[in-house]
Chains A and B, each alone.
Chain A
């Protein structure tokens, strides 16, 4: 007996209410943009400079006391958050302290850190600084540029690749799905105010890769079916292709989610934001490859007068035998 998440044969009509899905996606995208501009992202020190200190002590953490102890140091804007994780021991209390970037382009000085530790040691004897990270504003500006460039480069490289392997309509459909995923991910980070740092950019690019993976598998089948069923309308071919690949789409999403959820729960708090972005991205990416990419493709239309030699282009790798 096999575990089947998707019935043997499905024939869902994915386009009967396409206006609803596109409207839903459009609404989410607008909300993301609004949230991005209204609240902004909770940028980590990678992007806006400053210092984060991770402290560990055996006493329970009272944020007001911590703040009071740091007040005399005049470090400017400080935020303190307590960190919780199932992996922590009972008397292990961890806090993240973030200090704004100090003037003059440099990272924080060693004396400031020592002063900070001395000040906190008074209220929480034996407090340890398990990590201190400091980025000067000079570098953070460059990191923002590089990050934006990386995302734009990745999307355009992919656009070109799909264009070469498929038709331009496919490329546009895939890229629309990617932009959708990236926007929604940024939107959720703005809405929930999770720390947005360099690792999240890596997660964004992985989402781009994953969502694309899904889209390409569907499109590959569309390309094949377009040749096979010349009589069917484009909408029918798309529906057929999505239904045929549905089982695989769900299977891969589930295995990936199994892995990511175990990392989210057990992998420690340091990478939790990163893993959260990827879980969200897998869900959104799976949705978008079915509902966004294909709908765009349907609306753009595909030329179907494939020339004769085109019969082999779909399988141009299939001559490789192993």
Chain B
């Protein structure tokens, strides 16, 4: 007979009530959001009466997790960037060149004179004049190698040195490339995160995708180009020795040198050494400042090792110029007036106050270790997002109303039971979404609307089955009982198959499609729950109270 244990009834209603409470904050979205923001501000910046007032808009004993709105609903920018990991190889080799030179210099007697030859990026090609001394040269350069610390590269060293005739080639080993790639991407991720945090936008998503890609989503930002400016595609700062100055950008720079233009003097080119004295990585602080003439400038400070190198170099090269290079452009090329020991200095140029502030921010956040290539970018204006939310709301309400009316017309009282379950269903979806911190996207709303249509399916299966059992002459209680037990296998098989497709969508999809998979998957779970537990409890409770002799479904 129709019986459900008390503890099961309590449990079922408890789940429903919990779902409703979890979903409730979403009904007061703006208010809860402001309150949550104020809580974060108080933790970060301390308490003020205004902030406390905002916090109290939403009682603290209520749950306050909200459904995240996807970019297509809130507006914002989305970027998919590929880190050009190979950039680092070239930089590493250029940095290694002075070391190689210093190692070979004392052994000129054995290896003869040597010159760096032009070669592909990421290689040092060295020609020595005495090929018979090659084995000694190999030994010396190999001595510079250090072991790689990675899981796969046990026993491997970071460089690969080989010889062919009188040419000696140095390049990074495969093991080192692997671990270098990983470091580069992680470093880039961290720097991008810091730069975006500096600007202080809310809830940015910055995550690694695949081996060398980074996904960046920032809600509320004006456009993807603005976001790209903040990330500062290649804000690389170096301090490099100047070899010469000229007006021909295509002149031969000589091996180990490069020619780059001046930032504010058109037509002026500097030849600088490719291996910098100090790079932006050694920078610990940068602040907007004014120089002695009151022009905007940026003051900076190096860490100890940077300060030592900068100090040594300035001490040895008094009177010669050096270049401050930002993004392959010479910001300024002052002549070293005196030994600069403390590791701090000032960059002057034709800056506006805004430019000097931006430059300081970029420098402080650190340079990106490698360039970024933007493979995908999307900007969604906030108005379009709001339009989508409004349209989605109206569509959901109309869909909801239509289905509710249709169910009552078709099944009478049982239709009302199904409708209560349907309303609970939507609340449970929102509750679960808030709980797992899921993101609601426009296709996600479509998923909810689809769930509204499909959620009644399980109930329809049961009701149709009860009708059949009644037709077959069974009593009301027996018909309900049989209806549920016989419909169960169809309900489960049908929903498991749909759930499988939702899981595949979630695994393979990205962004909005994933949002759809989440609401569809959650919708399947909640609709099965409401159909086989909630409506059942309702029907049983109604039945126990009324004890009808006949029922009409």
Contacts and interface: CB of A to CB of B under 8 A. Distances in A.
Contact of B409 (A2, A150, A153, A214): A2
Interface string B363-398: 000000000011111111101100110111011101
A216 B508 contact: no
Contacts of B502: 209
B468 A130 contact: no
Interface in B59-91: 72, 80, 82
Interface stretch (A58-66, A266-274, A291-299): A266-274
A248 B450 contact: no
Contacts of A257: 453
Nearest to B505: A205
Q: Which of B8, B80, B454, B512 has the most CB of A within 10 A?
A: B454
B399 A263 contact: yes
A132 B381 CA distance: 9
Given A209-B498, A270-B388, A318 B485 contact: yes
A10 interface: no
A284 interface: no
Contacts of A132: 223-224, 377-379
A262 B449 contact: yes
11 contacts: A5-B410, A106-B374, A110-B225, A198-B509, A208-B501, A217-B490, A255-B407, A257-B453, A266-B398, A270-B72, A278-B446
Contacts of B411: 2
A213 B500 contact: no
Given A162-B497, A216-B497, A220-B489, A201 B395 contact: no
Interface in B242-262: none
Interface string A197-224: 0110110011011101110110011001
Contact of A256 (B445, B454, B493, B494): B454
B517 interface: yes
Interface in A144-172: 146-147, 149-150, 153-154, 157-158, 161-162, 165
A194 B107 CA distance: 73
B443 interface: yes
B539 to A, nearest CB: 11
What class of interface size applies to chain B in its complex with A? 35 or more
Contact of A255 (B390, B406, B504): B406
Given A134-B378, A162-B497, A216-B490, A259 B450 contact: yes
Contacts of A263: 395-396, 399, 446, 449
Interface stretch (A11-19, A25-33, A135-143, A230-238): A135-143
A257 B452 CA distance: 10
Given A132-B224, A262-B395, A317-B489, 13 more contacts: A2-B552, A87-B391, A106-B373, A131-B381, A131-B384, A134-B378, A209-B497, A212-B498, A220-B490, A258-B453, A259-B449, A262-B402, A263-B449
B394 A266 contact: yes
A93 interface: no
B486 interface: yes
Contacts of B373: 105-106
A83 to B, nearest CB: 11
Contacts of A205: 501, 504-505
B461 A262 contact: no
A260 interface: yes
B35 to A, nearest CB: 30
A251 interface: yes
Contacts of A4: 410
B500 A244 contact: no
A275 interface: yes
Contacts of B8: 322
A153 B504 contact: yes
Nearest to B515: A202
3 cross-chain pairs, A with B, having the tightest CB-CB distances, nearest first: A110-B225, A256-B453, A259-B453
Contacts of A214: 494
Contacts of B456: 251-252, 255
A265 to B, nearest CB: 8
A175 B453 CA distance: 24
Contacts of A255: 403, 406-407, 452-454, 456-457, 460
Contacts of A271: 388, 442-443, 446
A245 B387 CA distance: 40
Interface in B458-493: 460-461, 464, 467-468, 471, 484-486, 488-490, 492-493
A135 B391 CA distance: 26
A103 interface: no
B504 A316 contact: no
Contacts of A259: 399-400, 402-403, 449-450, 452-453
Contacts of B532: 322
A293 B225 CA distance: 51
B205 to A, nearest CB: 17
Nearest to B82: A138
B410 A130 contact: no
A258 B387 CA distance: 22
